[in-house]
Structure formats: C-alpha cells, structure tokens
Chains A and B, each alone.
Chain A
Amino acid sequence: MTTTHAAEAPPPDAPDGLQEHFDATIARDQRIEPRDWMPDGYRRTLIRQIAQHAHSEIIGMQPEGEWITRAPSLRRKAILFAKVQDEAGHGLYLYSAAETLGADRDDLTQRLIEGRQKYSSIFNYPTLSFADVGVIGWFVDGAAICNQVPLCRSSYGPYARAMVRICKEESFHQRQGYELLMTMMRGTDAQREMVQDAVDRWWWPSLMMFGPPDDASPNSARSMAWKIKRHSNDELRRRFVDMTVPQAEKLGVTLPDPELRWNEEAGHHDFGTPDWDELMRVIKGDGPCNDRRMERRRTAHEEGAWVREAATAHAAKQAARARKGAAA
C-alpha cells in the first residue's frame, strides 16, 4: 500500500536496532515495504533506479512512436499503438513505486527534463525503418526482460510487484516484435535486407543496455548486497546473448559480431566487447538522438502546462459545487 508517510525516514544513524532488523529482513529474503525503516542509501538508490526506469519507459515511447503514422498496415499500426500505450502504463506503475519511497512525481519529471536524471541509453538511437520496430521488440524488450525478471524478486516490495506486471507485458511485446520480423523474413529480398540492417544497428546498443562491465559499475556491489539487483551486469548480458543467438538462427539473420561463438567448456557463448566509450558518450548526452528526445519531452511538458492547469481549476470548481450542494 502506498502511504503518504514514506518520506518521514528516521535519521541515518538508525536507532534501536532498526538497522539489524533491516539486515535480517534482507537476509531472510523478505520484502521491505514503504513504511518499514530503511537506510538512507537504500532509499536514495531505489529512488534513482526506479525513477530512471520510469523515465526510460516514457522516453522509450518516442523511437517507436515515430512509426505509428507510417506503419505499413492497419494491423501493425494497431499493435504498435497498443504497445506504446503499454509503455506509458509501465512508466506510471514505476512512478507510483518511486512515490512510495517519498519521491514526488512532478519533481522526478523536472529532474528528467533538466537532465539531472537519466534514462536508458538505448532510446538515444534512431528508428530508421519499420524493421527497427520489430528489432526493438525482439532485442530491447528481450534485454529488458533479462534485466527485469530477476527484479520481480527485488527486496523492495512495491518495485518487485510493479515488475511482475511489467514483465508480463514486455514478453508479449517481445513476441510481437519477433513475429513482425518473421513476417518480413518471409517477404521480399528488400524486406530481409531491412531486417538484417536493423539487427546490425541495434545489436551492440542492446548489449549496452545492461550497463558498464562489472569492474566499472560503481553501484552494483551495494545494490546486490541489498538484493535490489540479483545479478551483475555481465551475467545478465551473457544470459541475453545465450537467449538471443538461437532466436537469430531461427529467424535467419546474423549477429554483427565476428567473435561470437559457442564455448562448449563454459556452456555459454563467447562474444566481443561493446564499445564502452560509445556507451559513456551516449549516457553523458552525446548520442545520436539525446537532444531530440529531451527536446520532445520538454516541449510536451511546457506546452501541456495550460491543460494541466485547466484540469486542476475544473476539479476545484466541481469540488466547490459539491460542497455547496451538500450544504444546501
């Protein structure tokens, strides 16, 4: 249950064995709930992670949204529409989860717009053909699932519960994307080329979605100790590769990595190293579409201000009328 009291955290030097109680709860694999005491760092890390997760859902509506008016059939248009609507919903579940920690949604939106909080690096890449819509479903939602299924067991209850719902819908999107690509692969040579080209452009950015390598990931160790995260970036990345390679074979596309091969001994695929410099540039705001994505979000917020004010004024008027009616 969301409560409005979540922000009243006790001081960081936890009194009366609260820290011990928290540690024991985590050790027993039980969930931390909004009104439980939690260390300040735990609260801050969660707000950051959940908010950035929410921002990613909202910004993530843009790359695919660009193809809604240009979808090649009414069926594909309706599917894409529904998917983008789901992303909006995921954003709302996640903002709700962040609010149980005492964060304020308006404030988080402000942080996003001012570039003080980030969103997933993947949404800074452009969608250049309709095949990109399918590849985003397959790779990007696939990577999201690898990341998010373990989060369903995250130590913070509201986050874990939001993830259960989101994961169901993400796996549905992944199927949609794969089915779209299958259809194109059964089509003309030009359509097959579009798919391969989209795969070539999105493969490495998708691998970067799992974040920097373990030895360069500053928040990882603590998040894993707190059981916010259950697996390391590299572990999840490898899991994604193992999952995706057979799907690519079935589809009839190649993955753009000359080092990619099955390692019998390890029981996993070996694969090349993503361009970490590129990831750093994209995260710092210098990717192909960072400016465009932020500008779009900022404009929507600013130009929508009068509508939000109108809704607030209308609600106040209705409430005043209701009070008058009750008094009469």
Chain B
Amino acid sequence: MTHTDWPLWEVFVRSRRGLSHTHAGSLHAPDAELALRNARDLYTRRGEGISIWVVPSSAVTASSPDEKDPFFEPAADKPYRHPTFYEIPEGVQHL
C-alpha cells in the first residue's frame, strides 16, 4: 500500500458579518483547490461563513510557549501605549 502523504492545511473562515478570518480547523488534501473544496464541505455547510483561506500547515510559524511571558509582556516603560495614560480634565466632552 502506498503512503500518499497529503499535506495538512489550516482552514480560516470569515463569517457573514465577521471582520476577520478565524481558525476553524485543519484537513488533509493533495492541493490547495481540493483543500478549499473540502473546507467548504466540512466547515461552512450550515452558513458559517462567506470566505475561506487555506494555508499549508508547514507555512505557519508559531510562537513558542517557552517565551510566552517575555514575548507578550507589554513594555512596562511604555505606558503611553495605553489610553489610560492620558489625563483629560473633567467636563471636556466627546474625547
């Protein structure tokens, strides 16, 4: 028996009113076109979305859980990145 080794694809779906594509799952397919068709059948059969992206899993680089803290820590010395940094006098409207 031959091992056909179809690659793994990650599927992203944008819902009808959705702003962004959301990761829906993954599947195996020989090429992008069949990955798209299978994703349509598998993930959007009940009106879940109107746009699909398929991406070969091998093309995804993920952050490592080991560096979770330093990688995502908001820089403590840059408080001006947050809206709460800015003081507005009371009574000023529409700001």
The chain A residues found within 8 Å of chain B, CB to CB, are 1-5, 33, 35-37, 85, 89, 92-93, 96, 99, 105-106, 162, 301-302, 305, 308-309, 311-312, 314-315, 318-319
Q: How far is the CB of B33 from chain A (nearest CB, A)?
A: 8
Count of A-B residue pairs with CB < 8 Å: 69
Bits for B4-28, please: 1 = Cβ < 8 Å to A, else 0.
1110101000000000000101111
13 more A-B residue pairs beyond the given contacts A3-B60, A36-B65, with a C-beta to C-beta distance below 8 A:
A1-B62, A2-B10, A3-B62, A5-B62, A37-B65, A89-B45, A106-B4, A301-B1, A305-B2, A311-B6, A312-B5, A315-B31, A319-B31
Chain A residues closer than 8 Å to B31, beta-carbon distance: 311, 314-315, 318-319
Chain B residues closer than 8 Å to A305, beta-carbon distance: 1-2, 4
B57 interface residue per 8 A CB criterion = yes
Contact-size category for B: 20 to 34
Chain B residues closer than 8 Å to A302, beta-carbon distance: 1
The chain B residues found within 8 Å of chain A, CB to CB, are 1-6, 8, 10, 23, 25-28, 30-31, 34, 41-42, 45, 57-58, 60, 62, 64-65
Q: How far is the CB of A87 from chain B (nearest CB, A)?
A: 12
- Give Cα A193 to B25, complex, Å: 44
- Give Cα A302 to B2, complex, Å: 10
Let me know if B60 and A1 touch, CB within 8 A.
yes
- 30 A-B pairs (CB sep. < 8 Å): A1-B23, A1-B60, A1-B62, A2-B10, A2-B57, A3-B62, A4-B57, A5-B62, A35-B65, A37-B65, A92-B25, A92-B27, A92-B42, A93-B25, A93-B42, A106-B5, A305-B1, A305-B2, A308-B2, A308-B4, A308-B30, A311-B30, A311-B31, A311-B34, A312-B4, A314-B31, A315-B30, A315-B31, A315-B34, A319-B31
Let me know if B1 and A4 touch, CB within 8 A.
no
- Give Cα A3 to B59, complex, Å: 10
Chain B residues closer than 8 Å to A96, beta-carbon distance: 25-27
- Give Cα A309 to B3, complex, Å: 9
- Give Cα A33 to B66, complex, Å: 12
Chain B residues closer than 8 Å to A99, beta-carbon distance: 8, 26
Chain A residues closer than 8 Å to B58, beta-carbon distance: 4
Which residue of chain B lies nearest to A90 when distances are taken between CB atoms in the complex?
A: B42
Let me know if A33 and B30 touch, CB within 8 A.
no
